[in-house]
Amino acid sequence: MLTTLARAKSFIADQEDVLPLALALEMASSIIETHCKRLFTKRSYTEKISTIQEPYQAPSQLYTKLVLRQYPILSIDTFTVSGENTTDYELLPDEGILFRKNGWPRGEFIIETMYTAGFITPDIATEAEPTNLPRSLEMACILLAQTLMRAPSVTSERVGDIALTYQSDGDSLPPAVKALIGPYVSRRV
C-alpha cells in the first residue's frame, strides 16, 4: 500500500471506522498503480525477452539498451544473454534502463533479468529502511481513498449554500490525484 492506516488517519481527522478506510486505501493504491502502469512497492521481478537481431541491421541505441518495466532499480540480481551471466552493462537505476556496453549478439537470443525495484513504501518501512516513496504518491493515495469513501459520483461538496459536483463519465481520477501522480505515470509500452 502507498500509505498506512495510521498515516492516513492523521490526515483524515473525522474517520472513526477503520475498516472502510483500510479498504479504500487498498483500492486507492491499486487504482494509482494501474493508472501509472507500474508497481511502486519494493519487490523482485524477472523479465525475459526473446529477440532476433538480423545480421544486416546496423547497431543502434535500440539494440544497446534494455528498458525494464519496473523502476527505480535497486539491484540487478542476474543479467543473462542467451543463458550466459554477464556484467557487461551500465545501469540508469532511476529510469530502469540497462545499457549493454558491447551491443547485442547477432541472430536470435534471449535476455533474462532478475532484479529488485521499487520504493520502500510506508507499509513496509522499518527503522533500518525508512520510506522513500515520494510524498506526492502517498498524498494522492489518501486523497483518492477519501474520494472513494464519499458518494462515488460526488467529486466535491460545499456545506455553505449546499453545492455538489458530480464526476463526469470521462473522468477516471480527481484532478488533484492526477496532478500528484502525473510525474510517475510510466510512458513505456
What does the DSSP assignment read for 45-86? Answer: EEEEEEEEE-TTSPP-HHHHEEE-SS-SEEEEEEEEETTEE-
Ranges of the chain whose pLDDT falls below 50: 60-63, 169
Q: Give the per-residue pLDDT at 138.
A: 97
Scored b (16 or more CB within 10 A) or e, 11-43 reads eeeebeeeeebbebbeebbebbbebbebbbbbe
What's the DSSP call for residue 104? P
| Secondary structure, 3-state, 117-167 | ECECCCCCCCCCCCCCCCHHHHHHHHHHHHHHHCCCCEEEEECCCCEEEEC
What pLDDT digit, counting tens, does each position of 106-151 carry? 778 888 999 999 999 999 999 999 999 999 999 999 999 988 887 5
The three cell numbers of residue 89 are 552493462
Q: Give the per-residue pLDDT at 153.
A: 56
Q: Give the per-residue pLDDT at 102.
A: 74
The three cell numbers of residue 156 are 466535491
Residue 99, SS3 per DSSP: strand
Q: Give the per-residue pLDDT at 62.
A: 40
Mean of pLDDT over the chain? 84
Q: Give the per-residue pLDDT at 133.
A: 97
Q: Give the per-residue pLDDT at 109.
A: 85
